[in-house]
Amino acid sequence: MRICFSKFGGIVLAVAAVVLMASCTDKKSDNRYTISGNVPSGVKAEWIYMYDISGAEPVAIDSARIENGQFKMKGVAPDTLAMTALHPGSLDEYPAVAWTLVLEKGDIIIDTNEQYAMGTPINDGLKDWLEQIEGLFMSGDGPEAIKGFFDEHWQEHSSDFVGAYVLGILSPYLEFAFVDSLAAQIPDDVREISMVKPFFEQLEAIRKMQPGNMFTDVEMKDLDGNGVKLSDYVGKGDYVLVDFWASWCGPCRQATPELQAVVKKFKALKAIGIAVSDEMDDTKRAVNDLGIKWTVLSDKEAMSAKIYGINAIPAMILFAPDGKIAARDFNVNELENLLKEKMN
């Protein structure tokens, strides 16, 4: 299964960095860190910068001189949570060279021969788990292998940030009930970490949007810029298939021809597309390039995805004639059999 992690808050399979909450006691002595490492020989930059990448735009928050290919930073982790990345030179100058890490107390090491930071508890934990999981992906193993990994290893990090974070980034590959059962074991203090909190908010949205529940309305725009609502299409007496996609999502585009072929077989089915986190002009071009015949709506702010608990696309939801959710979390390969089951 191929998916795009969306621009509206989906998390990519790479170690993201967070700044964990510091102790309120003598912060400067308790929360000191060092970051040392080396850069590839081809990088000619004189400085390496630490960027806060938790906001819309990266913000440089620290720097160190690169001498003989090596660097070292020292500091105190702030109280607020933030994703951080180390990058030599400007972000535009060397886009292929960057390291993300967890900024925490201790001596953090960056090695160009390693993908992940190491040397502190959270960085080591993430490195261990993510390297194993990447091995499963590279071997071509599917969601069952990911489920097997959690079955075997979950107790190692069931009560800390590593477990919560990795479960969050892999949740699109797993059945909701399984993810929810593991998430229920994560302590409240971990749930409140800012890098983890959106995952739990998403789980709550998915719980509310399970099959059998009535749809929730969302305001969007049609491709002429007119305001429309999901209720203009759903709950009108027809089965409605909603395809969440975007012009920038390669797997979405690849799935479109097969999706079109299935939809054509079911004359009573209404299909609409919702382009999430996509510029209107880009959506229009993709609709034309792909020859999409059904109605496509624009949801640049991705409110529909947030309400329905979707963090990766392509994703589809089937609504029953009365407006209740008939099915969700299926892929295009499962669609034809699902429609036969529901509509016959």
Domain boundaries, the chain: 4-122, 126-208, 219-343
Rounded Cα distance between 86 and 234, Å, is 46
Averaged pLDDT score across all residues of the chain: 85
pLDDT given for residue 144 in this prediction: 85
Describe the crossing of helices 143-153 and 176-183 by its angle, rounded to 10 degrees: 20
Is 1's pLDDT higher than 60? no
pTM of the entire predicted model: 0.76
Amino acid, single-letter form, for residue 19: V
pLDDT given for residue 6 in this prediction: 40
Is 339's pLDDT higher than 90? yes
Is 143 or 38 the better-scoring residue by pLDDT? Answer: 38
Q: 342, 320 in Cβ contact below 8 A?
A: yes
pLDDT given for residue 343 in this prediction: 86
Rounded Cα distance between 336 and 254, Å, is 17
- Terminal Cα-to-Cα distance of the chain (whole angstroms): 27
pLDDT given for residue 311 in this prediction: 80
Summarised one tens digit per residue, pLDDT across range 93-149 is 655 677 888 888 899 998 877 778 999 999 999 999 999 998 888 777 777 899 999
Is 90's pLDDT higher than 90? no
pLDDT given for residue 8 in this prediction: 34
> What percent of the chain has a predicted confidence (pLDDT) above 90?
58
Q: Which of the four pLDDT bands, split at 50, 70 and 90, describes residue 91?
A: low
Q: How far is CA 149 from CA 29, 112, 152, in A?
A: 38, 27, 5
pLDDT given for residue 41 in this prediction: 79
**CATH superfamily entry for domain 219-343:** Glutaredoxin (3.40.30.10)
Summarised one tens digit per residue, pLDDT across range 245-304 is 999 999 999 999 999 999 999 989 999 999 999 999 999 999 999 999 999 999 999 999
Long-range (24+ apart) CB contacts under 8 A made by 132-140 are 133/13, 133/166, 133/170, 134/13, 137/13
Q: Which of the four pLDDT bands, split at 50, 70 and 90, describes residue 322?
A: very high
pLDDT given for residue 232 in this prediction: 96
Summarised one tens digit per residue, pLDDT across range 7-37 is 333 333 333 333 333 333 344 558 899 999 9
pLDDT given for residue 94 in this prediction: 54
Q: Which of the four pLDDT bands, split at 50, 70 and 90, describes residue 67?
A: very high
What is the rounded average pLDDT of the residues 191-214?
A: 90
Is 181 or 79 the better-scoring residue by pLDDT? Answer: 181
Q: Which of the four pLDDT bands, split at 50, 70 and 90, describes residue 80?
A: low
CA atoms in the 13 A half-sphere facing the CB of 324? 7
